[in-house]
Chain A
C-alpha cells in the first residue's frame, strides 16, 4: 500500500485555479521530486499536504486513511488538524527558525510541548539529529549566529524531531548562496539513503536526478509529465523540454 495517495487535488485563489487536479502516489521510503517553473503551483501543493492551505476538491490519503476530503465540508477540529499535520513535516525555503531559541531549543520545542517523551529522551534525540546534520558544536548558538546553510540544516533536524511519515522540502536551497547549497543537499541525500520518505521541490536538476525515485513536472497547475529520473534526459513533452533547456 502506498504511504501517500493524492487524488484530484484542486485549489483556487480568488477564482484563479492554481491546482487543476493533481494525482500521484508515493511509496514508503521513496523520494519524489517536484520540478516546474515559478507559479506552477508547487508550493501550494506542499501547503495543501501540510494543511496550511485547504484544497477545494480531492483527497489526501496517508497509510490508507483519508486525512483530507474536499467533499467533506465539516470543518476539522483543531486537534484533528494538528494530527493531520503530524503525518508531514515541512522544510521552508526561508528556514523559519525560531530566533529567540537556541539551535537545540528549536529542535526540542515541539517534542517537549507535545509530550513526545521525557526531557532527557527528547534532548538526547535532538543531539543525535544535530550530529547527523553536522552541527553538534552549534547547539547553544542562536539562529542569527548561523549561516543560511547551517540554519536550513537545523530546520531539517527540527522537522525530523517530530518523526513525520513524509518530509516535504520547498526549495530548501533557493535562499542560499551557491556555495552553501551543497551542505544542505548532502543532508537530504543522507536522508534518502536512510529511506526517509520525502517530497522535494527543487530547481537543482543534478540533485533531482540523483536522489529521486520519481519525478513530477508541474506546469500551470497540472502534472505535465511524470516518471523516473530518466525523464530529465529524455523528456517526452515539449513543455518539459522547454523547461529543461532553461537550465
Chain B
C-alpha cells in the first residue's frame, strides 16, 4: 500500500473533479430555483383560487416527500414507465435529471420563503406609499423590496447552506459528485483501494464551501441590520 503522501495528489485531483460536479449542481439549482420559486410563490398567493390550490398541493407534495425519492422517480420514471429514457445515459443524463429534481424541490422551499417575505411586509407600507401618490412599481422597488429582502435573507441562507450538503444526494443515481469520487477509493480506483481517508477528506470541501457562504450571508445580514422591519 502506498503512503498517504503518494496517494494524496491522485485523490486530491479526483476529488476536485467530483467537487466541480457538486458545485455545478449547486449553481444550476440556484439559477433555476431562485426565479422559479418566485413564480411558484406568486401562484400560491394568486387570487384565482383553483391556481393557488393546485400550486399549494404541489408544494406540499414536494416538501412533504424526500428529495432522494424525487431524484429516483425523476431519473427512472420516464425510462421504466414510458420506455423513454429522456435523460439519456451517462454522466450528462444523470446531471440533467439531478438538476431537474433539485430545481423543482428547492423552488418549492424558496417559494415559501418568498411568500413569507412578501406577506410579512405590513400592508401599511404599501398604503403609506399610495397616499403619497407613488405608483405601484415605485412602491415595490423603493419601499417594499428591500424590506422583503431583509426578511428573506436569513431563511434563504439556511436553505442555501443545506443545498450545499444536499447535492450529495445525487450520489443515489450515481452522479459523480465529490462523495462518489471519495468513495471510489474504498472500492478501488487508480491503484488505490481500501482507503477511507478520501471519504473523510470530502468533508473538508463541504466545510470550506459552506463556511464561505456563511460568511457571505452574515455580511449581507449585517449590511441590512441598520434598520428594523
Interface residues in chain A, defined as those with a beta carbon under 8 Å from any beta carbon in chain B: 50-52, 78, 82-83, 85-86, 88-90, 92, 94, 96-100, 109-110, 113-114, 142-144, 158-159, 162
From residue A71, how far is it (CB to closest CB) to chain B in Å?
24
Known: A96-B124, A96-B127, A113-B134. 19 other contacts (CB 8 A): A50-B130, A51-B130, A52-B127, A52-B130, A52-B131, A85-B131, A86-B133, A89-B131, A92-B128, A94-B124, A99-B229, A100-B146, A113-B138, A113-B142, A142-B226, A143-B228, A144-B227, A158-B132, A159-B131
The verdict on B161 contacting chain A, using a C-beta distance below 8 Å, is no
B123-159 vs A, CB cutoff 8 Å, 1 = contact: the mask equals: 0110111111111101000110011001000000000
Interface residues in chain B, defined as those with a beta carbon under 8 Å from any beta carbon in chain A: 122, 124-125, 127-136, 138, 142-143, 146-147, 150, 226-229
Chain B residues whose C-beta falls within 8 Å of the C-beta of A98 in the assembled complex: 125, 128, 143
CA distance A221 to B183 in the complex (A): 75
Nearest neighbor of A78 in chain B, beta-carbon distance: B135
Chain A residues whose C-beta falls within 8 Å of the C-beta of B136 in the assembled complex: 78
Query: What are 22 of the A-B contact pairs (CB < 8 Å)?
Result: A50-B131, A52-B131, A78-B136, A82-B133, A85-B131, A86-B133, A89-B131, A90-B131, A92-B127, A96-B124, A96-B125, A96-B128, A100-B146, A100-B147, A109-B132, A110-B129, A110-B133, A113-B134, A114-B133, A142-B227, A159-B131, A162-B133
From residue B151, how far is it (CB to closest CB) to chain A in Å?
11
Nearest first, the 10 closest Cβ-Cβ pairs linking A and B are A110-B132, A96-B128, A96-B124, A144-B228, A90-B131, A99-B227, A86-B133, A100-B227, A99-B229, A82-B133
Q: Name the contact of A109 in the complex, choosing from B127, B142, B226 (C-beta under 8 A).
A: B142
Chain B residues whose C-beta falls within 8 Å of the C-beta of A83 in the assembled complex: 133
CA distance A99 to B150 in the complex (A): 11
From residue B123, how far is it (CB to closest CB) to chain A in Å?
9
Chain B residues whose C-beta falls within 8 Å of the C-beta of A158 in the assembled complex: 132
Chain B residues whose C-beta falls within 8 Å of the C-beta of A162 in the assembled complex: 132-133
From residue B142, how far is it (CB to closest CB) to chain A in Å?
7
Chain B residues whose C-beta falls within 8 Å of the C-beta of A96 in the assembled complex: 122, 124-125, 127-128
CA distance A94 to B142 in the complex (A): 20
Chain A residues whose C-beta falls within 8 Å of the C-beta of B228 in the assembled complex: 99, 142-144
Chain A residues whose C-beta falls within 8 Å of the C-beta of B146 in the assembled complex: 100
Contact between chains at A85 and B130 (CB < 8 Å): yes
Given A110-B133, A113-B138, A162-B133, verify A100-B128 contact (CB < 8 Å): no
**Most A CB atoms within 10 A — which of B122, B131, B136, B143?**
B131
CA distance A94 to B129 in the complex (A): 14
Nearest neighbor of B224 in chain A, beta-carbon distance: A100
Contact between chains at B133 and A99 (CB < 8 Å): no
CA distance A97 to B132 in the complex (A): 12
Nearest neighbor of A158 in chain B, beta-carbon distance: B132
Chain A residues whose C-beta falls within 8 Å of the C-beta of B129 in the assembled complex: 110
